[in-house]
Structure 1
Amino acid sequence: MKAITKTNYVKNIFFAAVLFTGASLVAQEEVEEKKAISISGSADAYFRTNLSATDEADADGAFINPGSSFAEETGFALGMANIIASYDMGKTGVVADLVFGPRGEAATFNQNVINQLYAYWNVSEGTTITAGRFNTFLGYEVISPVANMNYSTSYLFSNGPFSHVGVKADFALSEDFSLMLAVTNVADINNNFTGVYALGAQLGYSGQFLNFYYDGGEFLGLEVDYTGGFDLSEDFFLGINAAYADSDGAGFAGAALYPQLATSDSFKLGLRGEYFSVFDGVDGTDDPSVFAATLTGSYSIENLTIKPEVRLDSWSDNEPYFDTDGAASKSLSSFLIAAIYSF
């Protein structure tokens, strides 16, 4: 009888241990789900040549290029390597976005390798507070080539801010309406040495966004920006961007359309047509403008995307380009092909 009792006791202890171990594993899995760490990123490179001008750099090492940000060199060139690490606990989380290479250096103004570095707190289901360095809410395009249809960037994107350092609050007002309010340093500056801060706001409705930025004239002054788009059919999308910036009478204005057609699951064709002008607020006689048309194909196989692109830039005056014979020209035609790998 004692042996049977002892055996039952051992069995009970064994089953209890199994149940406890199982419960512990389930609890551990739930904790690990809440503390989800993810790594993502991309790498890109390209070849670019001028069709109407020389590819040779001048004595100062400057290449003849459209004048917008990134993809500025000729011949074979590097874009950037982008590593994004995020840690999400559900209510709170942090994101570290590091960039290396020419595109990354230009995006951070050679300050460091940090493209974004911020923590966030989901205060409620419809409210999130973010603090740190985050990419701008202005404009249609972004720094990473993965998220852009065109590989080269627009003048609107190039002349606006890239990133902000400060605090922002995002509010989901309803299923269609959203609101963002921000207080930051002056755009693209990590440190504040002047005591001047910038204010930002974004009102969104069903994928259409009206953006505001104001820094008292330290950088852009006041910028008003509209970004949006419409699915005109299952395969055809039209993106739109328009902006106006004024800092004590000097600034820029412009608009761009982004029609994009998906011909298959692996191939898309996108056109960017942009008008952009700058003004100095004096008499209007030296306010140049440019029309730029960029046609880009996008072919994807697994995580690799190949983008061939033809671009034409035509200025109203100031003859910014030089052709192969050394004569000044108001227009530049160029071709590039880029390879982008994302993970």
Structure 2
Amino acid sequence: MKKLITLSMLFMATVVIGQEETPTKKVSIGGSVDAYYQTYLTAPDNIGASFGSSFAEQTGFALGMANIIATYEGETTGAVADLAFGPRGVGAVGGDESIFINQLYAYWNVSESTKLTMGRFNTFLGYEVISPVANFNYSTSYLFSNGPFSHVGLKADFALSDDFSLMLAVMNETDVNNNMSGDYSLGAQFGYAGQFLNFYYANVGLGFEVDYTGGFDLSDSFFLGINAAYADNDGEGFMGAALYPQVATSDNFSIGLRGEFFDWLSDADSSVDDQDVFAVTLTGSYTLENLIIKPELRLDSNSQEVYSDNDLAPTKSLAAFTLAAIYSF
């Protein structure tokens, strides 16, 4: 009996020690799916044209993307695999239908204030993001569409204090998985209390971009988001600014407006010639459990006659109604 009790105590001690030495591990799966209906109010739906911004460019009933995100968290290290399928996903990964990786990176929390990340991660520039769950407006802005979507490289995030943060990065040129040119880009982000000043530089592609992203809670129910950017590569690029006022009318419903002015500089895009555009997007957002329903009205006014009206005559404006359904899990 003494031997049995001794063996039992040794076994229990071994189990307790083993439990204490086992590192904390956490695996989670999440993501989203979205679909929408869109019709032009000032042009036939079959004209084959769109606003010129990314995603949500189809008419009738259309698909967004299926986004599946797997996350592994250890005590100080972890990894993220973010896969995107569907038209929005193909556009997000650079138009290559054989690649469905939106993000794929590993990270190391070197200390409480320093984090290193290596792999493919979404851009730090701009107010809007690829995932429709995180954007208030369903259609995207020109600033988002003309900036980078993702980067492949190494970045270091530093929490300098409760309010100040700094990020430094060295990367391939924007939206390039395999660096065949031998050119690299540099990025930096300085943050203060939810306001961010971003910098990007590369010898090829986008060139130099400076970007401000931020926002202010003007009241408990009224938020104002702000985005402004300037990009230049040997005289070609863009500049623009956008405001995002949003009002929560109840726990489940909010309404928001995006007003944006965007100007292409020189011949940055072969499809535009000294154009600028003013776009207004009014979006409602109703949340039911994990389902988000977004009715949206959008009107774009271009300085050139780049659209068609209902008689197929050239015109400077295009209006559309969109109804989107987004489910996150």
Fold match (TM-score > 0.5): yes
Please tell me whether the aligned partners of residues 267 and 273 of structure 2 are also in contact (alpha carbons under 8 angstroms): no
Say which one has the larger Rg. Answer: 1
Q: Give 1:57-96 correspondences, 5 Å limit.
A: 57=47, 63-96=48-81
Report the number of matched residues.
Answer: 324
Q: Which of 141, 144, 161 is 2:131 aligned to?
A: 144
Q: Which residue of 2 aligns with 1:3?
A: none
Aligned to 1:207: 194
Residue aligning to 1:41:
31
Residue deviations 1:10-32, cap 9 Å, x none? 344445544544x267448x53x
CA distance in structure 2 between the partners assigned to 1:84 and 1:100 by the alignment = 12
Using the TM superposition, give the Cα deviation of residue 195 of structure 1 relative to its aligned residue in structure 2, in angstroms: 1.2
Amino acid at match of 1:184: M
Structure 1, unmatched stretches of 5+, are 1-6, 58-62
Q: What corresponds to 2:154 in structure 1?
A: 167
Match of 1:247 in 2: 233
| Equivalent AA in structure 2 for residue 55 of structure 1 | D
Counterpart of 2:58 in structure 1: which amino acid? E
Matches within 5 A, 1:285-324: 286-317=273-304, 319-324=305-310
Deviations 1:255-304 (A, max 9, x none): 0000011111111111100000112179xx95211100001011011111
SS of the residue 1:53 aligns to: coil
The Cα of 1:88 is off from its aligned counterpart by: 1.1
TM-score (norm 1): 0.91
Determine the C-alpha separation between the residues in 2 that align with 1:182 and 1:328. Answer: 45
Cα distance in structure 1, aligned partners of 2:94 and 2:176: 9
In the alignment, is residue 195 of structure 1 matched against residue 185 of structure 2? no
Counting aligned pairs with the same residue, the percent is 65
Equivalent AA in structure 2 for residue 132 of structure 1: G
Q: Corresponding residue for 2:88?
A: 103
- Contact 1:322/1:329 (8 A) holds in 2: yes
What one-letter code is carried by the residue in structure 2 that aligns with 1:149?
Answer: F
Q: Tell me, which stretches of 5 or more residues in structure 2 are unaligned?
A: none
- Matched residue SS, 2:162: coil
Residue 10 of structure 1, aligned match among 4, 8, 18: 4
Distance 1:155 1:18 in 2: 63
How far, CA to CA, are the matches of 1:200 and 1:15 in structure 2? 57
CA-atom RMSD, angstroms? 1.7
